[in-house]
Amino acid sequence: MEALWGAGPSLGLRMCCVQVAPARPSAGDFTPSFLRPGQLSNVDLNEDIRELLPRPYPNEIPHNEKLLSLKYESLDYDNSENQLFLEEERRINHAAFRTVEIKRWVICAMIGILTGLVACFIDIVVENLAGLKYRVVKDNIDKFTEKGGLSFSLLLWATLNASVVMVGSVIVAFIEPVAAGSGIPQIKCYLNGVKIPHVVRLKTLVIKVCGVILSVVGGLAVGKEGPMIHSGAVIAAGISQGRSTSLKRDFKIFEYFRRDTEKRDFVSAGAAAGVSAAFGAPVGGVLFSLEEGASFWNQFLTWRIFFASMISTFTLNSVLSVYHGNAWDLSSPGLINFGRFDSEKMGYTIQEIPIFIFMGVVGGILGALFNALNYWLTMFRIRYIHRPCLQVIEAMLVAAVTAAVGFVMIYCSRDCQPIQGSSVAYPLQLFCADGEYNSMATAFFNTPEKSVVNLFHDPPGSYNPMTLGMFTLMYFFLACWTYGLTVSAGVFIPSLLIGAAWGRLFGISLSYLTKGSIWADPGKYALMGAAAQLGGIVRMTLSLTVIMMEATGNVTYGFPIMLVLMTAKIVGDYFVEGLYDMHIQLQSVPFLHWEAPVTSHSLTAREVMSTPVTCLRRIERVGTVVDILSDTSSNHNGFPVLCLPHASDLFPPCLHGVVGRSLRGLVPPQVFVERANLSLVQRRLKLKDFRDAYPRFPPIQSIHVSQDERECMIDLSEFMNPSPYTVPQEASLPRVFKLFRALGLRHLVVVNNHNEVVGMVTRKDLARYRLGKEGLEELSLAQT
């Protein structure tokens, strides 16, 4: 064995494929994990380690158990500082770095502009199509109100809705299932460092945009705001890479940014731009990105994110202003605009604060109820509705039921209000007197965004308490049923709408109780109710406070909104977790929270790490490498490289048993794949090869390696990161967690006191420990 190692350097290390006589190495020396468990480290540790080895996982698992899926891979936020990388970085001078920096800003501006334009497109198309639909139905209802036979109108409405939603659902279910829902859980995972397949592809964006338009036009209880975040993220990922795999186009620009670190930074900016366009909330967008995604805070990155956000809302504002004919007015900063909350007219007093806190409690309870119902529904869907056609049928059913419920509610309502000005978009007269309209219809017969604004700003007395109560009840269940359907749709607006309805009801009740003394304006309570309900469902605090502040354009509302959101979060967390976290967990994603569980100081790296680790030598036989990569069960996607004879010092250090096992570096698997791809071309591998292949490196199985090639030797010194981050095996879990999370690592090598590899910590090892009701709990791992 030593003879072989000795032979390596003398053959010229820079030549990558070196024929070696196949007879020399005996088969036994090259088993995939060439350090067998027993050899790994101090002998006295191995007993403990073996007990901690993960038990064999079941292949198919029921979804109600606490488990983590092994199918998700990690992004690497840490640059692998291998020789190729360092050579490039050292070659780049100061001026070139400035060019790179300028490119980053240009990309951020482009992200902002494109996100804003996509938001405009969605807004304009939805407005026109929904307007068309409501006018058709309204004419029909008006016609049949007089001559009877409104059931035909109901049929028309339900059919229109169901058919539009069918199209929206078909494209999602059959073409790109990852475009379903709001996309916020997926983006949270991506920013957290979990690789979700297809999540930032152009195809996903197209399906998402079309899907959300069709869902909203189809009259489902959904919003178009949440999906903007996903859209922004896809735009960012696409632009920053300068190519599209869906279109198979490579523009040969921005190649420097083709790695996880840079891409993730841009995706943060895209998500922020999405929030900014959706709510006209650039600061809220930055905070959303940071709250949901960031780990290490970097000033320059945050500036760029802010820049993208600002450009995004500005683009949307300009284009929509031009579209609406008041070109230089800039009055539409976001897809939804909560309208003007004048602090003089709608100010709050200190006495109202306990009432707001009470509303927060209500919001927390209702939010938890929403989440719990949705949890059961999602479990049901996972078990029984997993075929695409069933999913489409369910979506159509929901669309038809939504229309039917709306129609019945409007039909049964006797809440007639006089038409004042032009605040009502599609006033349904139905059985009301001339010059009056059906008040229930302003809530049901309208896009949800408009209903929210109406509830905030309609003058006191526009709604009958009965109307509001019935609406809240019905809409609550409809929205709950709708979230999780196989359509692109957001949950922000329905939540706000439910909250605004019961908030307004609450405000009206208060003014009845106090004989209308001080609490004259129910719109303020509608706003607080909306905040409470949304907070109770999604459990965001800082970013949501700022988003609401910016959407209302009123800074003084910040304090009560913050109190309401915090209360809603605390109360809601007492029962179940937030909707997004719940869905992330139902997907068994290895999501890393902000801190390790507080009571985990008793666990050490030795107990949480995975063993055995497949290690490699610095000069390794291609056959060995191929075998290791093909064996997915022992594959951590990162291989420690151990001490080897160096060209300069030849044998001596490795003659010594102990020293021979000390860590020298870490190599990612794509090196071998790229190397194998190029194995016959005898040229040196360049960083460009990795960038061109990023992010979809082919699996090793797809590359044919001949028997001759298997006997070649591969030199890893150029490709390994010679200074991987390590932790001693005695480090506590919080310490390991902090290092892993703060630096956004993918692998963390655990070493003993002599720098010998004893194990490896990856995302799943850390995500496995959670704080449950009875203290620390450990999730099991599964291949699904």
Question: Minimum CB separation from a second copy for residue 462, in Å?
Answer: 24
94 binds a second copy (CB under 8 A): yes
What are residue 658's phi and psi, to 5 degrees? -65, -50
728 binds a second copy (CB under 8 A): yes
* Unique residue bearing structure tokens 């420990």: 769
Among 142, 631, 730, 778, binds a second copy (CB under 8 A): 730
303 binds a second copy (CB under 8 A): yes
| SS3 of residue 718 by DSSP | coil
Find, among 409, 482, 418, the residue nearest to 446 by Cα: 409
131 binds a second copy (CB under 8 A): no
**Tally of CB atoms within 10 A around 250:** 13
328 binds a second copy (CB under 8 A): yes
Instruction: Name which of 91 and 252 has its Cβ closer to a second copy.
Output: 91
**N-to-C CA span, the chain:** 40
Tell me the CA distances in angstroms from 271 to 197, 230, 276, one per residue in order.
18, 6, 9
Question: Minimum CB separation from a second copy for residue 326, in Å?
Answer: 11
Tell me the CA distances in angstroms from 580 to 291, 499, 591, one per residue in order.
14, 18, 12
Instruction: Name which of 20 and 650 has its Cβ closer to a second copy.
Output: 650
562 binds a second copy (CB under 8 A): yes
Structural element, H or E, at residue 713:
strand 713-715
Candidate ranges 25-33, 118-126, 129-137, 347-355; the one touching a second copy (CB under 8 A): 347-355
Among 90, 147, 248, 515, binds a second copy (CB under 8 A): 90
Instruction: Name which of 710 and 735 has its Cβ closer to a second copy.
Output: 735
Cα separation of 486 and 392, whole Å?
7
**Tally of CB atoms within 10 A around 214:** 28
Cβ atoms of 364 and 571 closer than 8 Å: yes
380 binds a second copy (CB under 8 A): no
Question: Minimum CB separation from a second copy for residue 541, in Å?
Answer: 6
Question: Minimum CB separation from a second copy for residue 514, in Å?
Answer: 15
Among 153, 161, 495, 554, binds a second copy (CB under 8 A): 554
Rg (CA), the chain: 30
Give bridge partners of residue 436 from the DSSP assignment: 418
10 binds a second copy (CB under 8 A): no
Instruction: Name which of 217 and 301 has its Cβ closer to a second copy.
Output: 301
Cα separation of 464 and 441, whole Å?
12
Number of residues near a second copy (by CB under 8 A): 87
Question: Minimum CB separation from a second copy for residue 688, in Å?
Answer: 18
302 binds a second copy (CB under 8 A): yes
Cα separation of 504 and 96, whole Å?
58
Question: Minimum CB separation from a second copy for residue 352, in Å?
Answer: 9
Candidate ranges 53-61, 327-335, 456-464, 495-503; the one touching a second copy (CB under 8 A): 327-335
Among 3, 594, 633, 682, binds a second copy (CB under 8 A): 594
Structural element, H or E, at residue 619:
strand 619-621
Question: Minimum CB separation from a second copy for residue 497, in Å?
Answer: 23
Instruction: Name which of 602 and 633 has its Cβ closer to a second copy.
Output: 602
Cβ atoms of 66 and 667 closer than 8 Å: no
Cβ atoms of 729 and 720 closer than 8 Å: no
Among 198, 735, 770, 780, binds a second copy (CB under 8 A): 735
Of 496-515, which residues contact a second copy (CB under 8 A)? none
771 binds a second copy (CB under 8 A): yes
Structural element, H or E, at residue 46:
helix 46-52
| SS3 of residue 244 by DSSP | strand
Instruction: Name which of 42 and 702 has its Cβ closer to a second copy.
Output: 42
Task: Using DSSP bridges, classify how beta strands 663-667 and 769-772 pair: parallel, antiparallel or unpaired.
Answer: unpaired
Q: What is the DSSP string of 102-131?
A: HHHHHHHHHHHHHHHHHHHHHHHHHHHHHH
517 binds a second copy (CB under 8 A): no
Among 556, 632, 702, 784, binds a second copy (CB under 8 A): 556
The pair of structure tokens assigned to 720 is 């390994």
Cα separation of 693 and 458, whole Å?
56
708 binds a second copy (CB under 8 A): no
Among 558, 677, 686, 695, binds a second copy (CB under 8 A): 558
CA atoms within 13 A on the CB side of 346: 25
The pair of structure tokens assigned to 438 is 């059906």
732 binds a second copy (CB under 8 A): yes
670 binds a second copy (CB under 8 A): no
Cα separation of 197 and 232, whole Å?
17
Question: Minimum CB separation from a second copy for residue 764, in Å?
Answer: 22
Cα separation of 400 and 445, whole Å?
14
777 binds a second copy (CB under 8 A): no
CA atoms within 13 A on the CB side of 114: 23
41 binds a second copy (CB under 8 A): no
Tell me the CA distances in angstroms from 665 to 75, 354, 377, 563, 669, one per residue in order.
19, 59, 48, 50, 13
Candidate ranges 33-41, 91-99, 471-479, 707-715; the one touching a second copy (CB under 8 A): 91-99
775 binds a second copy (CB under 8 A): yes
Instruction: Name which of 295 and 783 has its Cβ closer to a second copy.
Output: 295
Question: Minimum CB separation from a second copy for residue 546, in Å?
Answer: 5
Candidate ranges 23-31, 205-213, 418-426, 724-732; the one touching a second copy (CB under 8 A): 724-732
From residue 271 to residue 300, the character string flagging contacts with a second copy as x (rule: CB under 8 A) and all else as - is ---------x-xx--xx--xx--xxxxxxx
Of 598-637, which residues contact a second copy (CB under 8 A)? 598-599, 601-602, 605
753 binds a second copy (CB under 8 A): yes
**Tally of CB atoms within 10 A around 629:** 21
